[in-house]
Amino acid sequence: MTDPAVKRVVSDIVRSPEDKRVYRGLEFTNGLKAVLISDPTTDKSSAALDVQIGSLSDPANISGLAHFCEHMLFLGTEKYPKENEYSQFLSEHAGSSNAFTSGEHTNYYFDVSHEHLQGALDRFAQFFLCPLFDESCKDREVNAVDSEHEKNLMNDAWRLFQLEKATGNPNHPFSKFGTGNKLTLETRPSKDGIDIRQELLQFHSTYYSSNLMGLCVLGRESLDDLTSMVVKLFGEVENKNVPIPEFPENPFQEEHLRQFYSVVPIKDIRNLYVTFPIPDLQKYYKSNPGHYLGHLIGHEGPGSLLSELKAKGWVNTLVGGQKEGARGFMFFIINVDLTEEGLLHVEDIIFHMFQYIQKLRTEGPQEWVFEECKDLNKVAFRFKDKERPRGYTSKVAGLLHYYPLEEVLAAEYLLEDFRPDLIEMVLDKLRPEHVRVAVVSKSFEGQTDKTEEWYGTQYKQEAISEEVLKKWAKADLNSNFKLPMKNEFIPTSFEIYPLEQDAPPVPTLIKDTAMSKVWFKQDDKFFLPKACLNFEFFSRYLYADPLHCNMTYLLLRLLKDDLREYTYAARLAGMVYGVASGMNAILLSVKGYNDKQDILLKKIVEKMATFEIDEKRFDIIKEAYMRSLNNFRAEQPHQHAMYYLRLLMTEVAWTKDELREALDDVTLPRLKAFIPQLLSRLHIEALLHGNITKESALSMIQMLEDTLIEHAHTKPLLPSQLIRYREVQVPDGGWYVYQQRNEVHNNCGIEIYYQTDMQTTHDNMLLELFCQIISEPCFNTLRTKEQLGYIVFSGARRANGVQGLRFIIQSEKAPHYLESRVEAFLRTMEKSVEEMNEEAFQKHIQALAIRRLDKPKKLAAECAKYWGEIISQQYNFDRDNIEVAYLKTLTKENVMQFYRELLAIDAPKRHKVSVHVLSREMDSCPIVGEFPAQNDVNLAPAPSLPQPTLVQDMTEFKRSLPLFPLAKPHINFMAAKL
């Protein structure tokens, strides 16, 4: 098919051999580039459009305009003027959407149930053709941008990001403030007589040009149908022939180099950032010299830079490699965290960095290292997991600006040409005369003389002395530094085992003894050479008190720390492991290629059973843990609200304060004595899932048990010692409020929880359906219209077999005001469900069904579902099909009854718990209030609320209330074994 709107069709896009989807590339006459993906099996369709314009193109006097424009496009177009038309359409058809703005890109994407791609795409395309930028929307939405910035204000990552921009060339676009806030988007412009709506229209009509757009669409339709769909909608986008923004000059020029910055953080963190400006290496993607150097400098195996700095007791983690700048410039970074000792040796640490760089210069580029990276990439591309449509289209749309259509899927994996000259060229930039150094530490408080404009970060800038630079320039060879050894973990066997006869579609119990319960499922969907091994080690000691909780945490941190060198090669080869503590269990997982998984598993379990703790590492990691407990105070208000609610609702939960107080009691002898005690009695539950046979699954479990018995003399735990904590039961008509202050952020946070009942098929579906119905109206009312804050969320809360409806909001408004707005919103939902016609009601049922039946795209996702059933001990492996079948029998009357009985203000079985987190400026706040100013015609009236019970003491609160029983398993264990 030839269409005058299409200039070129590319049908031979290089794809992974395992990828069953078909692709077509299009270059439009108007300059837009597109990739179409036809996947007849997809449950959700998706599209994304990436405009190669971002905040670096903001007008000098209006910071944040590109980002504001991104927010505004969602709120109405000429063809679809209703401000929530797009989000409502998606919500009714199991869809979702989002967007992001970076320095050079604005990327918009959505997914939707596969039948409704056409309708969603039509609404989406209008963003780029005829947005309204409605005046009243603009005045409200500026608050969302301001709230988004407020959320980042006390976040160290954002503060450092902007400080780097502020300390380069002030005339370079890199120095701009990209988020924007009320000052830059409203107060200042109106003072200067600038009409922001005109500026938005101007920005959109100048820069939103088809020659800067990359589009990716994925659906069930054939490539020809997808082509005619996009040609019709996007062929009309105007080509304004905007030149691609280029920034040929690095923001760090001579006067910004050889500078040392001392920076005061919000959290108690200690980091060292070493940065070198380098040329843009993007065009060398087929030889990727930056990747080669990052691979070596950032290596964590024996003989690496990290190993040496760790052995000295100066750092724990290291990140090294190329960092994106923009078209025309890049950076090379080496970042480490610092121990207390490391902070005193910053010069020496950097000296070691230059020694390692010198080693690379002396040895010269090694072809075998390049070949190994190339092999790893080849294997990763060949056995790539299938992506989720929304993330995939968003990524591909962005890549279209950098790679030819033929290579867009493979480009990031392609390593074809070994170019020692380019490696040496980049190495030559990593010299002391080009360095910039920043050290972040609380110890600089009171010693700084500068304040960054947007975030108020305190810092001091000094030139690095000639003498230090000379010392670094003389960095010699250090005999402890060695190039990595050949990677033994690279998989060599990719054989897919044939499926066993009559293999059941869900996990089955293949071993059930006093010591272990083992579930097994051979992969019957993805057929890649991968497996997921999950283990849960129950012990009654882990969470017995704050002391044991701390010991468990430190033990696992030390174990991971010790295994870091050994497991790094496995990680590079696509095999990852994780170890974490649950409430009364240690969770261990090994995922990735199945070929050498048993070797890795054996090493981890042996290490666990014979672990010897190093005293120096113990002190360092204990100190880091202490800081992380203290740093919890600086988390976001809405995260605090969720934390306090969990403490209130769980039978046993240790607080950060209790853990902090008990940490002094953790000594090395105590921790050493704890290990054998912990391992003396265990119960293991496991799920082995993937490209493995039943025999190999059983032999892995046997190996694991034998190792524990041999080294730690492990015996089974008694069934009565398998303790699970239960959930507090709120009495009928009860409403409890708990208040706390956040000392760091100037925002309030609230979580309101309406506890409904235990998890059963019936209750699960009523709750989820109610959440589906209110989700979009909640966002539209409380964020878009009322602008309560950037973070506005409604959904189900589930814990320990019990569930309910929750609302989470972060806002500059007071918690009791938010409480009244949520109650007002809930009341409007009663009316809207009551008046909903059958067709609209069925749409919601359909949308939820599609969401629930959306197939996992990869083994790890399917495995996570089954593992969730196992660790919650519900074992409902066919939950999605069972629950959706039940969902389809629900009527509108069922939902109304659910609302009247459990959620209405006068509901007989209303169980409500609210957590109010006050902002740092608020001394106190009433727990409930009437707001007469709500007579505002646009606001739904708030019901008058009863007087809640204020929770003064958490322990008292829990003691006075009953607990729910635990959820019953959905499985007869005798039957499961057959």
Q: Are 570 and 596 a contacting pair, CB within 8 Å?
A: yes
At 256 the three-state DSSP class reads helix
At 727 the three-state DSSP class reads strand
Burial class of residue 906, CB neighbours in 10 A (0-12, 13-18, 19+) = exposed
Between CA 804 and CA 645 the distance in angstroms is: 12
Token representation of residue 224: 């020809």
List phi, psi (to 5°) of 46. Answer: -155, 155
Marked catalytic residue, from 27, 70, 78, 412: 70
Four-CA torsion 183, 184, 190, 191, nearest 10 degrees: 70
Q: Return the bridge partners of 50, or none.
A: 107, 214
Pairing of strands 458-463, 259-263: antiparallel
Look up residue 614 and give its DSSP letter. -
Cross-sheet strand order for the sheet of 259-263: 318-326, 329-337, 271-279, 436-440, 259-263, 458-463, 450-451
Sequence letter at residue 700: M
Look up residue 490 and give its DSSP letter. S
The answer to whether 70 is a known catalytic residue is yes
Of the candidates 757, 755, 750, the residue with the CA atom closest to the CA atom of residue 807: 750
Helix axis angle for 761-778 and 85-92, nearest 10°, is: 170
Q: Return the bridge partners of 585, or none.
A: 538
Of the candidates 799, 829, 792, the residue with the CA atom closest to the CA atom of residue 813: 792
Between CA 316 and CA 239 the distance in angstroms is: 51
Token representation of residue 381: 């591309």
- Give Rg (Cα) of the chain: 29
Helix axis angle for 135-152 and 196-207, nearest 10°, is: 80
At 810 the three-state DSSP class reads strand
What residues contact residue 959 under an 8 Å CB cut-off, 6+ apart? none
Sequence letter at residue 960: S
DSSP symbols for 367-402:
HHHHHHHHHHHHHHHHTPPPPPHHHHHHHHHHHTTT
What residues contact residue 557 under an 8 Å CB cut-off, 6+ apart? 621, 625
Token representation of residue 784: 């878009």
Distance of CA 743 to the CA centre of its chain: 25
Q: Between the CA of residue 176 and those of 405, 461, 585, 795, what are the distances in Å?
A: 32, 20, 48, 37
Token representation of residue 150: 């407020």
Sequence letter at residue 669: P
Containing 643, the helix (H) or strand (E) segment is: helix 637-649
Containing 200, the helix (H) or strand (E) segment is: helix 196-207
DSSP symbols for 518-558:
EEEEE--S--SSEEEEEEEEE-SSTTSSHHHHHHHHHHHHH
Q: Return the bridge partners of 475, or none.
A: none
Between CA 533 and CA 919 the distance in angstroms is: 44
Residue 956: CB atoms within 10 Å: 10
The residues assigned a catalytic role are 70
